[in-house]
Amino acid sequence: KPTYRHDYRPPAYRVAHVDLTFELDPAATRVKASLQMERHPECKEGEPLRLDGEQLILKHIAIDGQALESDEYTLDDDGLSVRQPPARFRLDTEVEIAPCDNTALEGLYLSSGMYCTQCEAEGFRRITYYPDRPDVMATYSTTVIGDKAGQPVLLSNGNPVKRGELPDGRHFVTWNDPFPKPSYLFALVAGDLKKVEDRFTTMSGREVTLQIWVEEENLGKTDHAMASLKRAMKWDEETYGREYDLDLFMIVAVNDFNMGAMENKGLNLFNSAAVLTHPDTATDAAFQRVEGIVAHEYFHNWSGNRVTCRDWFQLSLKEGFTVFRDQCFSADVNSAAVKRIEDVAFFRTAQFAEDAGPTAHPVRPDHYIEITNFYTLTIYEKGAEVVRMLYNLMGEEAFRRGSDRYFERFDGQAVTIEDFVDCMAEASGQDLTQFMRWYSQAGTPEIDAYGEYDYANAEYHLTLRQRTPATPDQPEKAPQHIPVRMGLVGTKSGRDLGLSLEGESLGSDGVIHLREAEQTFVFTDVPEAPVPSLLRGFSAPVQLRFPYSREDLAFLLANDSDGFNRWDAGQRLAMLALDDLIAAHRNGVEKVMDPRVVDAFRSLLERGGDDKAVLAEMLTLPSEAYIAEQQPLVDVEAIHAARTFVKQSLAATLRDDFLRLYQENESDEPYAPQPEQIARRSLKNVALGYLMAVEDEEGVELARRQFEADHNMTDVRQALTLLTHSSRDDLAAPALRSFGEKWAHDSLVMDQWFAIQVTRPQTDALDRVRHLMAHPAFSLKNPNKVRALVGTFVNQNRINFHRADGEGYRLLADVVIELNRLNPEIASRLVTPLTRWQRFDEPRQELMRAELERIRAEKLSPNVYEVIEKALA
Ligand code: ARG
Ligand code: ZN
C-alpha cells in the first residue's frame, strides 16, 4: 500500500473553519468537531467526501444538523466516506479516544500525567475524522474542557478568547487561531504546568508574550531556551525580514516525545531534552542543541507554517530550508567554523551511510508506505545542503530576494519544491534545471579528482570525474551540477594563488561548476606548484577523492586559508595512517605509528593562535563510524584497534603538550554557555581524553579531580566518561555509583548516566545494557530512555554491538520486536544499524539477516514493515 507522488490530486472538499471541543478523560476523551466544508469548484457534484480517521469510536455524525443515516456514509479502518454531500455544508462528528492507551505518541496522549498531542505527519486522524493532509488549510477554534485540579492549564493554538468554570470541578478555555493551517500543526496541552514568561517587541513594534511551560521542578531550567528564542526572533527579522504574527508564543516541555520538537502554530511542543538546560545538568553540546532546536521550530513559523507543503513528498521544502536557516543562525551566534565542522562530520558519517544503504531515497521521494519513516537525514540534512548550495550559487542578496518572493507569493498556501526553486531561479536569473536533480536522485555523488602542474606554461590542470552509485530503484544516474569551492595553495608561498580560469578571474577562493561526467579545468598564470584545496566549506554534499600525499595534507593542515579544509586535511591525513594500521591489524603485522601524523599534531599543539574551538576539532580523530564509512568492507575490530592505537601513540608522544593544553585551559569562572568558554572547555576535555588514553597516574588524577570538582556538567560528564571507559574498575564503579545516586531524581541526567555506561569499550557493555533495562529509571515507553540506553549502544558502541557472537544483534531485535507493538516510529528508527548488514563480513551478515528475518516473522506495523522489507530486498 505505498503512496506515490505522481498520484497527487487536489482535495475535493476544503475546510474553511474547524470548531473543536475536547472533554478530556484518560480512557474516554470526547472530541466534537464541527467542520465548515465546501466542495472544490472544479469538482463534480456528488463527489464523495473522504475523511481520515484511525482508532476512533464514532458516536455521532450529522450534516447541517441532520444526523446521517447508516446508508449515507461508510466506515473503515482508516476513515470514513460520506456518499453525496452538498456543495457547502457543516459536518458535525463526535468521537471517543483513549489517550491513556496511546503508547505510539501520535495523536493525543498522556505524558507524565499531562495531555499532549503530536500531529505531524498524520496524527490528527487519531483525534478526529478529518481530511488529514497538509493542503487542507483551515482556521481553528478549540475548546478544551478539563479537570481544574488535574489540568489547571489548558492550551491550544493561537490566542485564548474565553475561559470559564463548569460543574463537577471542571473548567474550560477556548482558543482561536486566526491563521489558516493544516491539521498537522494542531496542538493541545492540558496539565499541571508552570510557566516562565518574557516579552519580545517585533521589528514593527508589536508586543509578543513568550511563555515556556514546564513541570514545577523544571522552572530553573528554562533561561537558555528563552534567551535562544529571543535571539532567534531577532535573527529572523534581520536575516529574512520575517516577523512573528500572533500575540502569544508558547513552548511546552514534554517528557515522552518521539522527536526533538514540533512547530505547532503558536504552541511549540518540545522533548524536555531539547529545551531544558542547567549548567549542572546539561553539557555545552546540549546547550547548543537546545539553542538550535528552539530556533529551528521558531523559524518554521514562516518556513513551514505560513507557507506549508502541498503533500508529504515535499517535506524537505520546509525541513531542508529550516535546517539551513537554523544552521546559519547557530553559525552566526557561535563559532561558525566549528558549527560547519560538526555538521559536516555528522553528515558524512550518518547521511552518507543512509545514502549508501537499502533505505536510500531522494531529497524528494517518489513513494512511501509510512511517512514517519521519511523524517530522515536525507530529507533534513541533505535537504539543507541543497538549499546551502542554492544560497552559495546565488549569493546572499539574490537568495534573500528569492526567499522574500517565496514568502510573499505563497503566504497561506501549501506548495511544492518547484515553487521554492522557481522563486530562487527568478531572483537570480540562473537556470536551475540541472540543479533540480539534487531533489530527484538518491545516492552520494563521488568525485575522483586529479591535478597536474605544467611548469613550462604555468598552468594547473584539474580534472574532476563524477559518478553517483546506483540506489534502490534508481540504477542509472545523470551528472549533477556540483559547485566546487576551491583554492590553489602555493607550495612555496604557502598562500592562495589567484585563480584564473579561461581568462576569467575567480579571485583566490573561487567556485568551479562541475556539470558533466568529466571536466578538466585549466588554470592559467599559476606562478608556483600548488596543492589544490578542494570542496572548501563542504560546498556540495559529495564524496571527493584526490590522491594527496601525506606531505600535501600536512601542508594544507598548516597553510590552507580555509579553516574547514584545514580540519579536513587533518582528517584525511589521519585516515591515511588509520588505513595502514587497519591493514596491519588484519594481517597480524606489528602496528607502527606514522611519524608524519605525530609531527602534524605537534605543530598544531605548538603553533598557537588558532581558534580554540577549531583546534579542539582538529585534535579529534575521525570517529569509528566515520572510519567505517570510508572502508569498502567494515572490519569492526581492526577499526577499533587502529583508532585506539593512534590515540594512545599520540597521547604517549605528545603527553607534555596535552598536559600543558589542559592546564592552560583550566578555569574556575562561573559557567556560561558562551563561545569562548565552550571553546576552552572542549580543548581542555580533548586534552584530558588523550591524557587518559594511556591511563597513567597523572591522567587518572586529573580526571578524578575534574569529576569531583563538580564544576559543570560538561566537565563532569567528560571526566565520568573517561573514568567509566577506563579498564580499571576501581575508577569506573565508584564514580558511576555516586553520580547515579546524586542524580536519581533527574530523568535527563539519568539518560546521560545510561549513555555513558553503554559506550564502554569493555566487553561487559552488552550485559550492562540488558541489566540496565531492568533499572527502575528505565522504560521502553519513554523514547529518550530507549535512545539513551539502546540507541546509544547500537550506534556508538560498535565494537560491542557487532560482537562476533551476534548477541548485540539479538538484543536489538528483541527491543525492536517489543517496540513494534508499543511505538512503531521509534522501533523503525532503532532498527537502522541492522539494515546496514551488507557492509560487514559474511558471518556478521548472516547473523544480522537472521535477526531481520526474526523481526519480519512478527505482525509488523507499517513503519517497521517498510524498513525491514527494504533491508531484506
Ligand atoms: N516537524 C518537526 C521538526 O522537524 C518534526 C516532526 C516529526 N514528526 C514525526 N512524527 N516524526 O521540527
Ligand atoms: Zn523541522
Dist. CA 110 → ligand 2 center (Å): 23
Burial class (CB in 10 A: 0-12, 13-18, 19+), 178: middle
Our measurement of the distance from residue 426's CA atom to the centroid of its chain's CA atoms, rounded to an integer in Å, reads 30
Spatial contact of 135 and 311, defined as CB atoms under 8 Å apart: yes
CB 120 near ligand 1, within 6 Å = yes
**Digit-coded pLDDT (tens) for 69-110:** 999 999 999 999 999 999 999 999 999 999 999 999 999 999
CA-nearest of 337, 395, 324 to 537 is 337
* Residue to mutate (ligand 1; options 315, 375, 830, 866; most atoms within 8 A of CB): 375
Dist. CA 721 → ligand 2 center (Å): 31
Confidence of residue 442 (pLDDT cuts 50, 70, 90): very high
Confidence of residue 322 (pLDDT cuts 50, 70, 90): very high
Name which residue sits closest to atom 1 of ligand 1, judged by CA.
Answer: 262
CB 372 near ligand 1, within 6 Å = yes
Would you state the pLDDT for residue 75?
98
Atom number in ligand 1 closest to CA 300: 12
Angle in degrees, CA 607, 613, 619, rounded to 5: 60
Average pLDDT value for residue range 331-341: 96
Spatial contact of 394 and 427, defined as CB atoms under 8 Å apart: yes
3-state secondary structure 371-409: HHHHCCHHHHHHHHHHHHHHHHHHCHHHHHHHHHHHHHH
Q: How many C-beta atoms surround the C-beta of residue 60 within 10 A?
A: 12
Dist. CA 325 → ligand 2 center (Å): 10
Phi and psi of 123, rounded to 5°? -90, -20
Q: Assess whether pLDDT exceeds 80 at residue 784.
A: yes
CB 262 near ligand 1, within 6 Å = yes
Dist. CA 343 → ligand 1 center (Å): 19
Average pLDDT value for residue range 323-338: 97
CB 258 near ligand 1, within 6 Å = yes
* Residue to mutate (ligand 1; options 109, 118, 120; most atoms within 8 A of CB): 120
**Digit-coded pLDDT (tens) for 797-812:** 999 999 999 999 999 9
Average pLDDT value for residue range 633-642: 98
The H or E element containing residue 254 is strand 248-254
Would you state the pLDDT for residue 180?
98
Atom number in ligand 1 closest to CA 123: 10
Q: Assess whether pLDDT exceeds 80 at residue 610.
A: no
**Digit-coded pLDDT (tens) for 749-765:** 999 999 999 999 999 99
CA-nearest of 24, 268, 52, 280 to 144 is 24
**Digit-coded pLDDT (tens) for 52-69:** 999 999 999 999 999 999
Atom number in ligand 1 closest to CA 261: 12
Cα gap 462→482, rounded to integer Å: 15
Residue of 23, 54, 122, 297 marked active site: 297
CB 263 near ligand 1, within 6 Å = yes
Dist. CA 782 → ligand 2 center (Å): 21
Name which residue sits closest to atom 3 of ligand 1, judged by CA.
Answer: 262
Would you state the pLDDT for residue 609?
72
CB 259 near ligand 1, within 6 Å = yes
Spatial contact of 850 and 812, defined as CB atoms under 8 Å apart: no
**Digit-coded pLDDT (tens) for 348-383:** 999 999 999 999 999 999 999 999 999 999 999 999
Confidence of residue 527 (pLDDT cuts 50, 70, 90): very high
Dist. CA 190 → ligand 1 center (Å): 21
Which ligand has an atom closest to residue 263 CA?
1
Atom number in ligand 1 closest to CA 304: 1
Atom number in ligand 1 closest to CA 293: 12
Q: Among residues of the chain, what percentage have pLDDT more than 70?
A: 100
Which ligand has an atom closest to residue 105 CA?
1
Average pLDDT value for residue range 699-708: 97
Average pLDDT value for residue range 828-834: 98
CB 319 near ligand 1, within 6 Å = yes
Dist. CA 501 → ligand 2 center (Å): 40
Q: Assess whether pLDDT exceeds 80 at residue 743.
A: yes
Dist. CA 274 → ligand 2 center (Å): 13
Average pLDDT value for residue range 713-733: 96
Query: Which residue type does 217 have?
Result: E
DSSP 333-368: HS-HHHHHHHHHHHIIIIIHHHHTSTT---SS-SEE
Cα gap 39→11, rounded to integer Å: 9
Would you state the pLDDT for residue 719?
98
Burial class (CB in 10 A: 0-12, 13-18, 19+), 167: exposed
CA-nearest of 629, 643, 620, 642 to 571 is 620
Would you state the pLDDT for residue 607?
85
* Pairing assessment for the beta strands 138-147 and 13-23 based on DSSP bridges: parallel
Identify the residue whose cell numbers are 527568478: 426
Which ligand has an atom closest to residue 823 CA?
1
Q: Is 664 a catalytic site residue?
A: no
CB 297 near ligand 1, within 6 Å = yes
Cα gap 316→296, rounded to integer Å: 14
Name which residue sits closest to atom 11 of ligand 1, judged by CA.
Answer: 372
Q: Assess whether pLDDT exceeds 90 at residue 519.
A: yes
Spatial contact of 121 and 371, defined as CB atoms under 8 Å apart: yes
Which ligand has an atom closest to residue 319 CA?
2
When the pLDDT of each residue in the chain is averaged and rounded to a whole number, the result is: 98
Phi and psi of 456, rounded to 5°? -55, -45
Q: What is the ipTM of this complex?
A: 0.98
Would you state the pLDDT for residue 782?
98
Q: Assess whether pLDDT exceeds 80 at residue 131.
A: yes
Average pLDDT value for residue range 260-265: 99
Query: Which residue type does 563 have?
Result: G
Dist. CA 299 → ligand 2 center (Å): 9
Cell of 297: 521550530
**Digit-coded pLDDT (tens) for 674-690:** 999 999 999 999 999 99
Atom number in ligand 1 closest to CA 372: 11
Name which residue sits closest to atom 5 of ligand 1, judged by CA.
Answer: 262
Residue 63: C-alpha distances to residues 12, 32, 38, 49, 121 (Å)? 17, 13, 12, 12, 28
Cα gap 645→579, rounded to integer Å: 12
Would you state the pLDDT for residue 696?
87
Cell of 575: 585516515
Name which residue sits closest to atom 2 of ligand 1, judged by CA.
Answer: 262
